[in-house]
Amino acid sequence: MIENDFIPSSYAHDKEQGRVQWKAPSNIALVKYWGKKQNQIPANASVSFTLDKCRTITSVEFTKLDKVDKEFSFDLLFEGQKREDFKPKIETFFKRIERYIPFLKNYHFSINTSNTFPHSSGIASSASSMAALSLCLMDIEKQMVSEMNPDFFYKKASFLARLGSGSACRSVKGSLVQWGEHDKIVGSTNLYGIPYPFPVNDVFKSYQDTILLVHKGQKSVSSTLGHDLMHGHPFSEKRFKQAHDNLIRLRSIFAEGNLDDFMEVVESEALTLHAMMMTSIPYFILMKPNTLSIIEKIWEYRRTGKKHLCFTLDAGANVHLLYPNNEKKEVEKFIKEELIAYCENGQYICDQIGFGAKKM
Ligand code: PMV
């Protein structure tokens, strides 16, 4: 598909008003997306686990305006409170997608959104929130056309979400989602995320992700700026090649359930992401001392117990612990005894691989 396939030619039905509601999950990248071209086109392909419990729930009420407005007309409630400070982000998103959702200026939208994970927990909500909002808009569009097949619905929802926040395109479907053109991955595209197209061993179908909340404050450097710093970065080309090669490596790892190799790729990807931050100009560090202490502890745990617990990191200080479901008991004990001390107020979130967004 190409971008123009997402521009509707006309709408068969006129809707006066209505309400839609979707919940969309967060996701955690295994091969990271860091660096982009214009229009949210990734510099390299990536793959992620869709999460289950960390979600955004968004409802959109829409009412037809008497006349088409020059501006977008919407209000925004976050967890029941009016948030003027969140509006510019939605405004930017609407501008980017107006070409593909031409009814945007014909309606007033009341957007009501909330997260299942604590606000300002340091967990980025942009992926789940942009995915949930995109699905709501697609649901409205679906009501205006005579027929829309589910495949197109989800592809366009992911396409729109990508224009809000790149990684959001991986938050529409589950449970492993691939995004970005890759010569060895059939159906891969820069435009939207696709369900991982190769065999996946059962061990990954119930994989656990416990998120240790190391630092709950705002990130000191936004991911927009971080992506930008990959332009002219001394290691960028090598890094993009590494991501490409890691995706090839993962194909047999996913198929065979080779957890030792899985851990190596995933931890190397996490550390490379942060290495890119530390070696850009200006350079910056998002990890905190406790992030490193946790990593040390995980490696120690593996040395003694030979277990399949590994970590990954987002663009922040929190640590995602990834492990197979059958090791859950031991890992939980280890978290309580050894890792909780490094979490802000002892907080962590137990999540697991999930199966994508749902209409409510
Ligand atoms: O979607 P963005 O622009 O917030 O970028 C996300 C980048 C990482 O979370 C660090 C990596 C990824 O692939 O999700």
Pocket test for ligand 1, best of 32, 56, 128 (most atoms within 8 A of CB): 32
Asked whether residue 24 is domain-assigned, the answer is yes
> Which structural domain, as residue segments, surrounds residue 140?
3-197
Q: What is the mean pLDDT of residues 158-182?
A: 97
- Ligand 1 close to Cβ of residue 167 (< 6 A): yes
- Residue 122 Cα to ligand 1 middle (Å): 13
Q: Per-residue pLDDT averaged across 326-347, rounded?
A: 96
Q: Would you say residue 245 lies in a domain?
A: yes
| pLDDT for the residue 100 | 98
Do 111 and 228 fall into the same domain?
no
Per-residue pLDDT reduced to its tens digit, 51-104 = 999 999 999 999 999 988 789 999 999 999 999 999 999 999 999 999 999 999
158 alpha carbon – ligand 1 mean position (Å): 15
Residues 191 and 212 both lie in one domain:
no
| Mean pLDDT score across all residues of the chain | 95
* Residue 359 located in a structural domain: no
215 inside domain: yes
pLDDT score of 219: 74
Q: Which atom of ligand 1 is nearest to the CA of 170?
A: 14
- For residues 302 and 267, is the Cβ–Cβ distance under 8 A? no
Q: Write the single-letter amino acid at 206.
A: S
Question: How does pLDDT run across 207-225, given as a tens digit for each residue?
Answer: 999 999 999 877 778 889 9
**Residue 118 gets which letter from DSSP?**
P
Q: Is residue 357 in some structural domain?
A: no
CA atoms within 13 A on the CB side of 317: 25
Q: Structure pTM?
A: 0.96
Tokens of 61: 């009420």
Kindly report, residue by residue over 101-135, the tens digit of the pLDDT.
Answer: 999 999 999 999 999 987 766 777 899 999 999 99
Q: What's the rounded mean pLDDT across residues 299-322?
A: 94
Q: Judge whether residue 305 has pLDDT over 90.
A: no
Residues found in the chain: 360
As for how many domains the chain has, the answer is: 2
Q: How far apart are CA 22 and CA 250, in angstroms?
A: 31
Ligand 1 within 6 A of CB of 29? yes
